[in-house]
Structure 1
Amino acid sequence: MKKIVLLFLVSFAVLQIQAQDKITKTSPRIMILATGGTIAGSGESSTKSAYTAGKVPIDDLLNAVPQIHNYGKITGEQVASIGSQDMNVVTWLKLSNRINQIFKENLADAIVLTHGTDTQEETAYFLKLTVMYDKPVVIVGSMRPSTAMSQDGNRNLLDAVMVAASPRSQGKGVIVAMNEKIFDPRDVTKSSSTNLETFLSRNFGPIGLIYDGKVSYYYQSLRNSSKKFDVSKLTTLPQVEIVYGYADASPLTVTCLSNSPIKGLVYDGMGNGNFNEPVGKALAEASKKGILVCRSNRTGSGRTTLENEVDDAGLGFVVADDLSAQKARILLMLSLTETSDKIKIQQNFFEY
């Protein structure tokens, strides 16, 4: 009897191995690129909020979520180990070039990028504009470190891998997956400094949902994603700064920046990107000096409209449409790598 039971167990184990081998051969190759952030953060207490970002290496992240191996051939690569408040243009260029290289050399079918939430939306939008392939690039993070009792990183990482592996994600390109929702990088924003469900798309909502192991899409952005900015030969980007608008604002910041070597300036104005008279004069002077001035608005949703309350043509300004100031800065930097023509740059803001 014991021999029969033993034979059965051995046969069952062989069948399981064969089944797993069959799954592995047909499953997608998913490469996880790690940059640090809270999802790789470590703290001394499981119940306190203090932690240090970017301390947990990629291998430990993968080992903490063994279920991800059910969805594909998973490999990991550490690209950076920083908190996303320290994200910079050099790392953006490195990420974009690495992702393009991976797809060009057919090293993976999809990519998951772990990232801190502070600048996650900015990195996502930069990659949306510079990654030349439409294969899935799923950007994910967490609001609580890996050592927290209620950490959200493991679930988010598993969901991101599900999204990357899903046939429904083919052709979607760069997307953001957080808290069982999928967002277009152009529209997503971090809305709370502490809440787990911080990522929102205030104007349009998520493009898809992740629930119970299933990935569902409901719509996609019609903004131009076919034309990309080629950054493969760049080591830096034109410098663009942001100035915040508020009641009784001084023109001093704009004036100081106008005397610096910046190439562009995004004014994050009140209401429909408005400014008071002193700031308006300083912005006009900046424009005359050849600095590309772009108006956005600080409200968090809605559009900044051209030629509405401001004589944009007369002042030489462009508007961000419905882009936030931080994303308008990215599009302006990339646009300035190709042209200084204000008409063409304005068209970029209406198309991208």
Structure 2
Amino acid sequence: MTVQPASAGEGQAAAGLPRVLVLATGGTIAGKADPRSAIGYDAGSATGQQLVEAVPGVDRLAHLQVEQISNIPSQDMNHKVWFRLVERINTAFARHEADAVVITHGTDTMEETAFFLDTVLHHEQPVILTGSMRPGSAISADGPANLYEAVKVAASPQARGRGVLVVLNDTIHAAHWVSKADSTALQTFVSRNAGPVGIVDPAAVRFYGPARVRLALPLPAGEQLPAVDVIYAHADMDGRQIDESVRAGVKGLVIAGMGDGNVSAPAMQALDRAVKAGLVIVRSSHVGDGFVNRNVEVDDDAHHFVASYDLNPQKARLLLQILLAGGVQDVAAVQQAFAFGY
């Protein structure tokens, strides 16, 4: 679908507008109210075309083409949709069909989709993810404003070369740092350890500094990612979950550790068994902020572990999957990728 200008005068003014491809995947932004509770709703009920048509003035920012990639709640997001997105984005830019891409997406897994795309897409053209915390049928729905501002950022020359960005609630985040931090608040996204990279409102797009250097890895072949489990550490932890993951045949484990990536002594013994079984082990943290550095409380060199540095467990899992899919299994090489930029 192409959104046409509202009048001939606007059409003449819009002749030089950038072309933005909107790829819809579902989520709360495409949700509609459900009577099961006062705030109940069903995600993925509206189409991308309906979303765009509900945003006044967005056609004056760019020439829009809308395509539906999926229409699912983001808790059901999966690697098949990710590969479809990569294929469509690569094709659109290779064939000069679009100058930028906006992806509408649910917030639950938005940071994971953004991080995956940021790692395997190697374009200068902007790719922007946006969504909402309230469905379109809610009072003061935030989706229309977020979609408007996402298109505004996508159309901005300043957004080029900055990798994949997340735009919600007047704020621009880089995929590497962005994380959902509140289950219901409109200002749910934060950029851990770094802060947002810019702001946007109906008047302007402003970035705070130059683009960061990004890790660029090849897209895994065969549209598959190896199995990697995330295991949440806690008090009185034993090694059962770790041993079960090894028996299940996973290729790697990410520990959502306590503090700076710690686990109990029994769990540490199980991790050593997992290393002997050939798994790659990454220590992350469930704290939220801060870095997991090498050889602090844990002797990573002796145990042959990888430290996640600033990546949270869900992003550490994705990076390990991409590396393993590309044949990178040497612990030193995996650690080098996690330490990129630091």
TM-score normalised by length of structure 1: 0.92
CA contact (8 A) 1:45 1:147 kept: no
- Give the residue type in structure 2 aligned to 1:228: L
Aligned to 1:309: 297
Aligned to 2:3: none
Aligned to 2:207: 217
SS of the equivalent of 1:81 reads strand
1:66-85 → structure 2 map (5 Å cutoff): 66-85=56-75
CA contact (8 A) 2:26 2:44 kept: yes
2: CA distance, partners of 1:220 / 1:310: 35
Q: How much has 1:95 moved relative to structure 2? A: 1.0
Aligned to 2:329: 340
Gaps of 5+ in 1: 1-15
- Give the residue type in structure 2 aligned to 1:114: T
- Relative distance call for 1:105 and 1:150 in structure 2 (3 A) is same
Is 1:94 the counterpart of 2:84? The answer is yes
- Per-residue CA deviations over 1:312-351 (Å, capped at 9, x if unaligned) read 1111110111100000000000011221111111000011
TM-score normalised by length of structure 2: 0.94
Is 1:158 the counterpart of 2:135? The answer is no
SS of the equivalent of 1:25 reads coil
Aligned to 1:253: 241
Aligned to 1:8: none
1: CA distance, partners of 2:210 / 2:259: 28
- Relative distance call for 1:20 and 1:212 in structure 2 (3 A) is closer
Q: How much has 1:46 moved relative to structure 2? A: 12
Out of 251, 276, 293, the residue aligned to residue 288 of structure 1 is: 276
1: CA distance, partners of 2:46 / 2:65: 16
- Give the residue type in structure 1 aligned to 2:340: E
CA contact (8 A) 1:162 1:213 kept: no
CA contact (8 A) 2:43 2:72 kept: yes
Aligned to 2:16: 26
Q: Alignment RMSD, CA only?
A: 1.6
Is 1:139 the counterpart of 2:137? The answer is no
1:30-69 → structure 2 map (5 Å cutoff): 30-44=20-34, 48-69=38-59
Aligned to 1:5: none
CA contact (8 A) 1:45 1:148 kept: no
Q: How much has 1:212 moved relative to structure 2? A: 3.6
1: CA distance, partners of 2:196 / 2:302: 38
CA contact (8 A) 2:163 2:214 kept: no
- Relative distance call for 1:153 and 1:291 in structure 2 (3 A) is same
More helix by share: 1
Count of residue correspondences: 335
- Per-residue CA deviations over 1:49-102 (Å, capped at 9, x if unaligned) read 101000101111111013110001011000000000000111111111211111
2: CA distance, partners of 1:42 / 1:243: 34
Out of 198, 203, 215, the residue aligned to residue 208 of structure 1 is: 198
CA contact (8 A) 1:115 1:141 kept: yes
- Relative distance call for 1:47 and 1:27 in structure 2 (3 A) is farther
2: CA distance, partners of 1:199 / 1:220: 21
Is 1:235 the counterpart of 2:223? The answer is yes
CA contact (8 A) 1:113 1:140 kept: yes
Aligned to 1:9: none
Gaps of 5+ in 2: 1-5
Q: Which has the larger radius of gyration?
A: 1
Q: How much has 1:250 moved relative to structure 2? A: 2.1
1: CA distance, partners of 2:87 / 2:124: 15
